[in-house]
Every structure is written in structure tokens, then in C-alpha cells.
Amino acid sequence: MTTLTYLDAIILGIVEGLTEFLPVSSTGHLTVTEKLLGLPVDAPAVTAYTAIIQLGAIAATFLYFAKKIARLFMAWVRGLTGDEGRKNPDYTLAWAVIVGSLPVGVVGFALKDVIEGPLRSLWVVAAALLLWSGVMWFAEHRHDQLERAGVHRGEHDLTVRDGLVIGLVQCFSLIPGVSRSGATISAGLLRGIDRVTATELSFFMAIPALTAAGVFQAVQQREDLVVLGAGQMAVGIVVAFVVAYASIAWLLRFVATNSLRPFVWYRVGLGILMVGLLVTGTVSAT
């Protein structure tokens, strides 16, 4: 394949940064964008690049939540070394993040060939966008019911079981089009967790999952990535970092006073458009 151009890298970096933490599926949007740019979406190098530019978004998460991440880490260490530390809600929250991050790593490694092969189809992306939109809508409806019933939990009310359940649901995000944040936030809402807390928990769970995916792809497919160009990869990661940082700040402000329903309508519209393009043969699935 031809070398990735710097313009391609900038465009993909913007798409990654905008969509990584919004519940619209970054992998789905990157797949569509790569297709529009004329890149072979199922090529090993392109698949690896999709995972590696996520490191920019993860770096943005580290920077944005640096103080809180440090607080959770210190609470976790104190909890491991003393009984008094285990009474701190941050200790439980840290364990919820750790436990919740494990399932997607195990499933992702076990189904790696399927995820990077058959699932890299625009038909899969379109179907996942539409079907998971129903889950998100139901999660919002259920959250409203629980809130009216007085079930309203914040970060100090989280349990390790919450982390495990949300982590298991996160596994669905391995299907392009589902959205990792859409899966984790929806799971949090269904468990009666407020939107801001569910969104922040989604960010924290993204760190180990996406970091591991990016590093693994970089090491395993380093020879394929040479074809794309080191400079282009660096540009994509930096652009993703800048845009993702702004997206995190915006999303946290948005969910403080709004539901996820606008994203549901966007997903449905995009899914229907993709089906139309595929059916008419305007674009090919792979």
C-alpha cells in the first residue's frame, strides 16, 4: 500500500480525538474515514495505526485527570498496606477500575483475529451503530426511572461489582460501531450511577484498555507500520491528543446537564446513511 500522507494523518487524528470518548464509536468513524481516504481498512498496518493513534487520546486522559488518577493510585496503595486505607471510597473506586479493565483485555486478545478481520466491515459498523443505539436509549430511560425513584449514586457509592459489570459490558465495544464509551456509560446508567460519574469511570477504564491495545499493536506490527511512515504516526498521535483533550472537557460539561439521547439520534442517522451507501454500492464494505 502507499505511504500514509500527512493530510491523512491529520484527518485521522482529528477523527480519533473527536470520537474516542464520545459515545459514537471512534473505531467505526475511523473505519469509515479510512475508507473515504482510499485506505484498505482491513490491512494490518491500517488496523494497527487505528489502535496506535489512540495513545494520543489516552495521553490527554492522563493529563486531564492527572490529579485524580494520582489520588486514586495513592488510595489504592494505602489500602493495600493498611486497614484504615481500605475505608477510603477511593480505594474501592480504584479496584473497580482495575477489575473493570480486565475483561476487555482478555476478550480482545482471545478474539484478536476476528476483531481485526471479519469485524472490520462497514456492514458491521452500520449494524452496531443502529443496534447499540437501542441499548443507549434504554439506558437513559432506565436511568431516568431510577433517578425519580431516588436511586442516584456518585463515585463514593461505587462498588467493585459495578466495575466488573461495566467492564464486562465494555467487551461489546470490541465490535466496531458499538463505542467503548457508549457501552461503559450505558452500563453505568443502568446501575443507577449518575452521568458524570459514569462518564469519568468510562475515561478511567479506557486508560489500561487502550494503552495495552496501542502498545501491543506497535510491537507486534512494527514492520507493517514502517510502511505508513513514522512522521505521519507522530502527527496523528499529537493531533489526537489535542482534540481529545478538548473533547473530554466538553463531554463532562455536556453530561452534567444533558442526556445521551442526542448522540443516539446521531448514531441512528449515521447508521441509516451507511446502510444506504452500502446497499446502493456507493461504498464497499471492506
8 A C-beta contact, residue 92 and residue 160: yes
Average pLDDT per 10 consecutive residues for the chain, totaling 286 residues: 78 92 86 83 75 87 93 93 87 94 87 77 90 95 87 88 95 90 94 92 85 72 70 90 95 91 95 91 77
Q: What is the pLDDT of residue 1?
A: 47
8 A C-beta contact, residue 91 and residue 79: yes
d(Cα 219, Cα 215) in Å, to the nearest integer? 6
8 A C-beta contact, residue 253 and residue 70: no
d(Cα 199, Cα 244) in Å, to the nearest integer? 14
No. of helices (H) and no. of strands (E), the chain: 14, 0
Q: What DSSP designation does 282 have?
A: S
Helix ranges (H only) for 157-194 are 160-170, 180-190
Q: What is the pLDDT of residue 268?
A: 96
Q: What is the pLDDT of residue 23?
A: 92
Q: How far is residue 4 CA from its own chain's centroid?
A: 24
The three-class DSSP label of residue 157 is: helix
Closest CA to 209 of 134, 103, 120: 103
Tell me, what amino acid is at 228? L
Which residues partner with 153 through β-bridges? 193
d(Cα 218, Cα 156) in Å, to the nearest integer? 37
Q: What is the pLDDT of residue 121?
A: 82
Give phi and psi for 223, each to the nearest 5.
-70, -40
Question: Does pTM top 0.85 for this prediction?
Answer: yes
Q: What is the pLDDT of residue 221?
A: 67
C-alpha cell of 44? Answer: 494490518
Closest CA to 188 of 131, 245, 145, 136: 136
Q: What is the pLDDT of residue 246?
A: 95
- Give the count of beta carbons closer than 10 Å to the beta carbon of residue 47: 23
Q: What is the pLDDT of residue 213?
A: 72
C-alpha cell of 24? Answer: 459514537
